[in-house]
Structure 1
Amino acid sequence: MIKTFADLDLDHNLLTAIKEMGFDRPTQVQAEAIPQALDGKDILASAPTGTGKTAAFAIPALQYLQDFPRKKAGPARVLILTPTRELAMQVADQTRALAKNTKLNVFTITGGVQYEEHADILKTTQDIVVATPGRLMEYIEAERFDCRAIEWLILDEADRMLDMGFGPTVDRLSAECRWRKQTLLFSATLEGRGVEGFTADLLKEPAEIDAEPSRRERKKITQWYHRADDMEHKLALLKHIITEQAKRSIVFLKTRERLGDLRAELEKAQIPCAWIQGEMPQDRRNNAIERFRDGTVNVLLATDVAARGIDLPDVSHVINYDMPRTADVYLHRIGRTARAGKKGNALSLVEAHDQPMLDRVARYIKEDIKERFVKEMRPKHKKPVFKKKNKKKVEKKNAKKKVAKKKK
């Protein structure tokens, strides 16, 4: 049973760096993935953001490079693919922090960087390269990047790469790295497109790891909801919470349009906020995240697409201004708080039509989500009760419809 990082048979220089980064004991995904990766197995892991997955692949990769040191200078031996530039930078920063007591080099190759900068990197000895698929493919096609030396291929947020249309590019990159020894694939979920969108020969008899955040991890997050009579009431509740209760909040919305409307309302109320949404220029995204990170603003509005994979420290509250479309997205959202052993809060602002979704979420996480009230802002309407559909009745009804159609 692995309880501490010392149980993982790692080099002293790695253990020192891990300790200095404030990691006390391995998370579930780390405890399961690191030993199997070091045993030479391919890894297929489901690990939502906030479960420590970066360290789950960076630690064994760094240990491998030290166990099998290179004989002479040359190109990268470990390639980590991430869907976005921001995530690439985050992964590279964390990997560098873990490698700080070694002589290993970690570089990034992403869009939005001048070719000259990358050309300088590609001339030097690299050990680990963290890259976005599109830009890396350009360099491979121009014969500027050599995949023949790659021994480990790691895919981070594989499901998001598929969502962004990178499936074919990743398959081509996999073929270019065909001499590799191991492949590690990390995805938020293992169902559906999480893996099936890639070619079947990407992984060879992988060890499967399903690391849902444990109940103990989730216990660090206090969850509750407020009922709202209408949009006006909902906005009043939000303003009260972000000005009176929350220190640093991420507020989630369903669409860019809804985000734009809320932004205008907060500006009117002179509540400063930053925002990130899909299809936003990279420099503006980085700027918004930086302003939230350094405390210039304490409210970040986000859509789900934009917020995937972003690691923001010290978020005290995650606020679901709009309920997500599915229960697993709810888990991703609330995982933005209570990171690195800290406690956090997750609250939802729920109109009558959101009640069934809230019930679905409670069933999915196997926990009750309690209702709370703000004094002077209690809802005027009664809590709606939705009848659960009787499965058998629905099936009977559908069968009758089919028969009727056939008779026609």
Structure 2
Amino acid sequence: MTTFASLGVSKDFHQALKENKIIAPTDIQVKSIPTLLNQETDFIGLAQTGTGKTAAFGLPILQNIDPTKNEIQALILSPTRELVQQINKQLFRFTKYAPTKIFSEELYGGVKIDIQIANLKRPTHFIVATPGRLVDLIERGCLDLTKIKTIVLDEADEMLSMGFKQDLNRILNYTNGTRKTWLFSATMPEEIQKIIATYMSPDAVKVTVDVDTLINKNITHEYAVVNGKEKYNALVSFLENNPEGRGIVFCRTRAGVQNLTEYLLEDEFSVAGIEGEMGQRDRDKAMRAFKNGSKQLLIATDVAARGIDVKDLAFVIHYQLPEQLEYYTHRSGRTARAGKKGVSMALVTATELGRLREIESDLEFKAKQVYL
């Protein structure tokens, strides 16, 4: 059996991994960790959210840092504040038993930049950041990235789809030199290929997580066919039949999230909504309420839901089918975590049924029709 020890992960991290219930390495970790630990190489990892990427790049970064040097040695870029916080928190947990303390800073918008400038004067070994805020700090001369050995582009396709192309180019140009670039992405659109061609070695190691491992076998996929006017009633019916369950309801648009949250609140459901245009304070408040269990349901867009990692979700509901195939996997992967079972329910009109069939075919699963 493959273990983290057999992949080359130092004993300094074994106890912390166990305490975080990370026992057996996932496919992406098995394929990535030995290369990232032992080879001075650029690296491309094709893998979806929820496959264990943070540990796949995070453990090699932590193990390769020299804590005796007070300099920024690694930079991890991620698209949203929530993902930055999640990555930093997870890596901090991994260092619980490390013999020498490893210091990090997380940088993102929505926080006064002066506070972050002050924090960067403390010892810092690695940074986790959103591209926009990082560029702001670079332009103010508050960051010395000349000593970084590794830059990680996490959720690279999402960073581009959120409009960070220019910022990424500036950061990659600024850090150009002897650094290694590790790129992780769920998809490989043309813009990602341009970044690879421009900033990465043609000899970069590339690994892909097999699509079969992306559809969690513990998820039951279901769908109900409803006409447009009945969709809300079908959702209410599903929720009433699962009164104890916690879950996320996905909409494609911000307006969809706002309207659905309003309707469900009027019908006295325990619900919070998050979407990209919300103020950061309101967004944090909604996420806290959902994570601590004081709200039972979260209504979200695909982009806003990036970085959400809530345990014991009984279901996800596709109130509107996603535009992109990989979003279906991202959505469904929020439930049935850590060996538990969960339901992925799609509410579709007759005209949307063809799209659901395409998703089934491409991801090689079969959803069961139910009647609400």
TM-score (norm 1): 0.85
The answer to whether 1:134 aligns with 2:120 is no
Aligned 1:86-235 pairs, distance under 5 A: 86-102=82-98, 103-193=101-191, 195-198=192-195, 200-204=197-201, 205-212=203-210, 214-215=212-213, 218-232=216-230, 234-235=231-232
Amino acid at match of 1:95: L
SS state at 1:162 partner: helix
Query: Relative contact order: is structure 1 or structure 2 higher (C-alpha 8 Å, sep ≥ 6)?
Result: 2
For residue 306 of structure 1, give the secondary structure of its aligned residue in structure 2.
coil
Provide the residue aligned with 1:242 in structure 2.
Answer: 239
Deviation at 1:225, TM superposition (A): 1.0
1:217 deviates by 5.5
Distance 1:216 1:57, change over 3 A: closer
Q: In the comparison of the two structures, how many residue pairs are matched?
A: 367
SS at match of 2:120: helix
Equivalent residues of 2:215, 2:363 under 8 A apart: no
Answer yes or no: is the 8 Å Cα contact 2:105–2:120 preserved in 1.
no
Shift of 1:87: 1.2
User: Could you tell me how far apart the structure 2 residues matched to 1:162 and 1:325 are?
Assistant: 16
The equivalent of 1:406 in structure 2 is none
Q: Which moved more, 1:195-204 or 1:26-35?
A: 195-204
- Match for residue 255 of structure 1 among 253, 256, 261: 253
* Equivalent in the alignment of 1:314: 312
Q: Aligned in 2, Cα 1:259/1:124: closer, same or farther, shift over 3 Å? A: closer
Which secondary structure does the structure 1 equivalent of 2:346 belong to? strand
Q: Structure 2 residue aligned with 1:268, among 266, 290, 295? A: 266
Query: What's the CA shift for 1:209?
Result: 1.7
2:117 alignment partner AA: A
Question: Does the Cα contact within 8 Å between 2:83 and 2:307 map onto a contact in 1?
Answer: yes
Q: Could you say which residue in structure 1 is the equivalent of 2:73?
A: 77
CA RMSD of aligned residues (A): 1.9
- Tell me which amino acid in the other structure corresponds to 2:161: D
Pairwise CA distance, 1:100 = 1.5
- C-alpha distance in 2 between matches for 1:151 and 1:351: 51
Counterpart-to-counterpart distance in 2, 1:163 and 1:325: 13
Cα deviation for residue 3 of structure 1 reads 2.0
Partner of 1:58: 58
Between the aligned partners of 2:350 and 2:327, the Cα distance in structure 1 is 20
Structure with max Cα Rg: 1
Amino acid at match of 1:3: T
Query: What SS does the aligned partner of 1:130 have?
Result: strand
Distance change (3 Å), C-alpha of 1:70 and 1:328: closer
Q: Aligned AA for 1:337?
A: T
Question: Aligned to 1:198, what secondary structure does the other structure show?
Answer: helix
Shift, 1:13, TM fit: 1.5
> Secondary structure at 2:144's aligned position in 1?
coil
In 2, the alpha carbon distance for the partners of 1:364 and 1:225 equals: 17
1:266-305 matched pairs, under 5 angstroms: 266-305=264-303
CA distance in 2, matches of 1:214, 1:6: 26
Secondary structure of 1:96's aligned partner? helix
**Does the CA contact (< 8 Å) of 2:8 and 2:37 recur in 1?**
no
How far is 1:199 from its partner? 6.2
- Deviation readout 1:58-104 (Å, 9 max, x if unpaired): 01111112xxx3554x2210111111222111110011011121211
CA separation in 1, counterparts of 2:163 and 2:254? 20
Q: Which structure 2 residues correspond to residues 389-400 of structure 1 after superposition, within 5 A?
A: none
Matched residue of 1:91: which SS? helix
Structure 2 segments unaligned to the other structure (5+ residues): none
Equivalent residues of 2:117, 2:137 under 8 A apart:
no
**Residue identity opposite 2:4 in structure 1:** F
Q: Deviations over 1:281-334 (max 9, x none)?
A: 111111111111011111111112222232222221010111222333211211
* 1:25 alignment counterpart: 24
Q: Distance in 1 between matches of 2:292 and 2:117?
A: 32
Contact 1:76 1:149 in 2 (8 A): yes
Letter in 2 for 1:328: E
For the residue of structure 1 that corresponds to 2:6, the secondary structure is: helix
Distance 1:368 1:268 in 2: 35
Spell out structure 1 runs of 4+ moving beyond 6 A. Answer: none
**What's the offset of the Cα at 1:236?**
2.1
Structure 1, unmatched stretches of 5+, are: 375-408
**Distance change (3 Å), C-alpha of 1:184 and 1:28:** same
CA contact (8 A) 2:152 2:181 kept: yes
8 Å CA contact 2:67, 2:125 repeated in 1: no
**CA apart distance, 1:213:** 5.6
Q: Does the 8 Å contact 2:80/2:306 carry over to 1?
A: no
CA separation of 1:142 and 1:30: change in aligned 2, threshold 3 A = same
